[in-house]
């Protein structure tokens, strides 16, 4: 007896969907003959299987299909290219224009932070060696703090000075700078570390070449701005900027055998001439002449020759009794022992009479040892912020004198920073160039702060001009104009730019 339950057809509500298309959706009628279901399902089964096989056999359209013209791929590439261009434009807009209200604070904040860093590192680098001296452990720090106060006072005075006064000060500053350089060759001048570039008048001593950098920037910017497009002619490029202005300054500096300072003068002077529109072929001739002259001057000085040989590892210069590699090697030891976090502020071991002039040219090595890679990168970020602010001021300005002068100051500060960092890391020979704002030295710190004050003056003027309504409107319409045009900036300006 078959005990299996009889199969009862399910109702339409209880029937589950079939997974196989070959199944008949309805149960065959009991009145049909037994052979009828197979014969009835045969014609239904064939077209379903055929369509299923056809769908499986038909491949998806790919890029290799000759009927596909690649429009989707081209659209995707075009979108990616547009996105890349938009990112580049946004970044360049951030660097080039930015916000005139924040540019002023970028310059001021970075300059103040670098000055504070310098004061702390000068105290740390000199307190050990100055113990037992007449001035005491804090003597050098007190002098640096005094000059920092003088420099900050000069920076704020110049920053809020009427711009016309700056133009009127260009020629007197140039005359005073030349007189100060000439005093170095008199009995008032004296020699330090082989370079005669210092003067002492009573209890005050300093380097006239540091103040001459600022004077030459102001004077050269004013002269090139007044010449306009005439600087594309050779005679207007040479007279009076190169001859007799820059040539006179270079003559006094090289008379004192200060090759490092002469390189910085040449660097920012070339940058100012380039921005003013001088033809490129003149730079090729001048650059070639300058390289040949630097090599000749290096060969004429035995001290410079041996230092270059020590840097290149020639003629066993490091084995000489003077040991010209000692200072650079000890500086590298200090940087290497700092690690990521540093050994701690004031805990440097190399400053205990191991690194000569640790508070001057090689102060970055003490900073790297005590504050580590993190502190070194912070200082580099502050210099980059200062450069960004100066570049924004030069880029947004429509006045030639402002643009040329700002580029000259930026090339001076950033170029001197690059030379000093390359020197202490072994990329360049030791040529005696201090690190701006950080190294000990009153005249250098004062001139750097006053130079930043000049750029702050230009940034302050741009910030005031950005508040002015455009199109002669006033009242609510002027406010709407400022809000809609983002303080006079064109429609390319992206919102909420720092």
Q: Is 20 exposed, middle or buried (0-12, 13-18, 19+ CB in 10 A)?
A: exposed
pLDDT under 70: residue ranges of the chain: 1-69, 321-322, 470-498
Q: What is the pLDDT of residue 324?
A: 79
Q: What is the pLDDT of residue 488?
A: 40
Q: What is the pLDDT of residue 322?
A: 66
Q: Could you tell me if residue 497 is inside a domain?
A: no
Q: What is the pLDDT of residue 10?
A: 53
Q: Could you tell me if residue 215 is inside a domain?
A: yes
Residue pair 93/497 in contact (Cβ under 8 Å)? The answer is: yes
Residue 376, domain extent: 98-467
Q: Could you tell me if residue 476 is inside a domain?
A: no
Q: What is the pLDDT of residue 13?
A: 53
Q: Which neighbouring-strand residues pair with 205?
A: 200
Q: What is the pLDDT of residue 91?
A: 85
Q: What is the pLDDT of residue 15?
A: 54
Q: How many domains does the chain have?
A: 1
């Amino acid at each position: 007896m078959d005990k299996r339950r009889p199969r009862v057809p399910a109702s339409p509500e209880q029937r589950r969907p079939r997974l196989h298309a070959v199944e008949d959706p309805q149960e065959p009628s009991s009145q049909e003959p037994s052979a009828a279901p197979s014969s009835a399902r045969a014609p239904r089964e064939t077209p379903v299987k055929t369509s299923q096989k056809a769908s499986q056999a038909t491949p998806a359209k790919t890029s290799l299909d000759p009927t596909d013209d690649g429009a989707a791929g081209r659209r995707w590439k075009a979108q990616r290219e547009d996105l890349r261009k938009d990112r580049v434009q946004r970044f360049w807009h951030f660097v080039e224009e930015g916000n005139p209200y924040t540019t002023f604070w970028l310059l001021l904040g970075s300059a103040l932070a670098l000055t504070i860093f310098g004061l702390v590192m000068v105290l740390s680098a000199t307190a050990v060696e100055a113990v037992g001296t007449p001035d005491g452990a804090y003597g050098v720090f007190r002098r640096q703090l005094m000059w920092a106060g003088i420099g900050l006072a000069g920076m704020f005075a110049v920053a809020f000075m009427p711009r016309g006064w700056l133009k009127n000060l260009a020629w007197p500053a140039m005359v005073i700078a030349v007189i100060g350089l000439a005093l170095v060759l008199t009995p008032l001048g004296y020699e330090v570390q082989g370079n005669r570039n210092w003067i002492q008048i009573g209890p005050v001593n300093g380097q006239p070449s540091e103040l001459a950098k600022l004077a030459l920037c102001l004077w050269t910017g004013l002269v090139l701005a007044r010449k306009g497009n005439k600087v594309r002619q050779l005679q207007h490029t040479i007279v009076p900027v190169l001859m007799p202005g820059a040539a006179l300054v270079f003559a006094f500096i090289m008379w004192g055998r200060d090759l490092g300072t002469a390189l910085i003068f040449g660097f920012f002077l070339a940058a100012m001439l380039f921005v003013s529109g001088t033809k490129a072929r003149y730079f090729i001739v001048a650059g070639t002449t300058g390289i040949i002259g630097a090599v000749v001057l290096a060969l004429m000085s035995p001290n410079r020759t041996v230092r270059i040989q020590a840097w290149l590892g020639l003629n066993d210069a490091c084995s000489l009794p003077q040991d010209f590699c000692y200072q650079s090697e000890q500086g590298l030891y200090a940087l290497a022992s700092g690690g990521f976090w540093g050994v701690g502020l004031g805990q440097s071991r190399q400053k205990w009479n191991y690194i000569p002039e640790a508070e001057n040219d090689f102060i970055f090595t003490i900073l790297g040892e005590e504050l580590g890679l993190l502190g070194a990168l912070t200082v580099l970020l502050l210099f980059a912020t200062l450069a960004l602010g100066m570049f924004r001021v030069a880029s947004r300005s429509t006045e030639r004198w402002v643009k040329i002068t700002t580029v000259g100051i930026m090339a001076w500060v950033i170029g001197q920073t690059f030379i000093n960092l390359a020197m202490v890391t072994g990329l360049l020979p030791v040529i005696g160039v201090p690190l701006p704002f950080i190294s000990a030295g009153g005249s250098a710190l004062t001139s750097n702060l006053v130079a930043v004050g000049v750029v702050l003056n230009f940034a302050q003027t741009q910030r005031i001009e950005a508040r002015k309504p455009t199109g002669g409107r006033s009242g609510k319409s002027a406010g709407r104009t400022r809000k809609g045009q983002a303080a006079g900036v064109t429609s390319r300006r992206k919102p909420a730019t720092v």
